Each structure stands twice: as structure tokens, then as C-alpha cells.
Amino acid sequence: DTAVSQTPKYLVTQMGNDKSIKCEQNLGHDTMYWYKQDSKKFLKIMFSYNNKELIINETVPNRFSPKSPDKAHLNLHINSLELGDSAVYFCASSHDQLGRRLTQYFGPGTRLTVL
């Protein structure tokens, strides 16, 4: 059973296009995240939602807009794609239990290539 799933796994697109990446978790978690891993494999947080509320919004261009329709889904929409957006984007989720931030479980990643 897939715990955290992302679609698509690969995304190749032209500069200037708008694209979306979808994430779903079936773990019953209440917190979801988007991370970006650059070409040097450095992994950095972008956004986090807890119970559909945005709680982390790092220094990310406003071309990136997360949307959480419900606790099990967190999508990432990117407008006007640029070459520098090429990276692997990981979704993750965790359970916030009594104020304790528990282990984050990651999806398989979406490799975005902007041409």
C-alpha cells in the first residue's frame, strides 16, 4: 500500500508553462510538506500545511502556490516555470500528536525538468 504518493513522477515542460504536482497520503496524517531537492541533492523545505492551514512558507517565489483541499492532499502549482525550477520535488506527511511533531514520511518525488 502506498503511504505518500505523488503524480506525476516525471514532468518535462517548456519555460513559461504552468504545471501542477499532486500529493496524497493515506496515513491519516494532519501535516503535509513540500520539499525541493536541487541538483546537488540538497533538500530544503518549501511549504507545510497542518489541517489545511498554511504554517510554513519559506522564501519561495510566489509563482509557487500550494493548495490543500483536504488533510490527505497537498498539491503544488507552479506558474511561469523557469529553468531554475528544475529539481526533484518531494511531498511528505507527519502526524502532529499532542503538540509533538512526529516522523515525516516522504513520497517518491517528482522530477521536474524545465527546458
Residues that bind another protein (CB under 8 A): 4, 31, 33, 40-45, 48, 50, 55-58, 90, 92, 94, 96, 99, 101, 103-109, 111
CB of 80: closest distance to another protein in angstroms? Answer: 26
Cα–Cα distance measured from residue 99 to residue 113, given in angstroms and rounded to the nearest whole number:
38
The C-alpha torsion from 36 through 38 and 43 to 46, rounded to 10°, is -30
CB of 27 to another protein, least distance (A): 12
CB of 54 to another protein, least distance (A): 9
Closer to another protein by Cβ: residue 75 or 93: 93
Look up cell 536541487; give the residue: 38
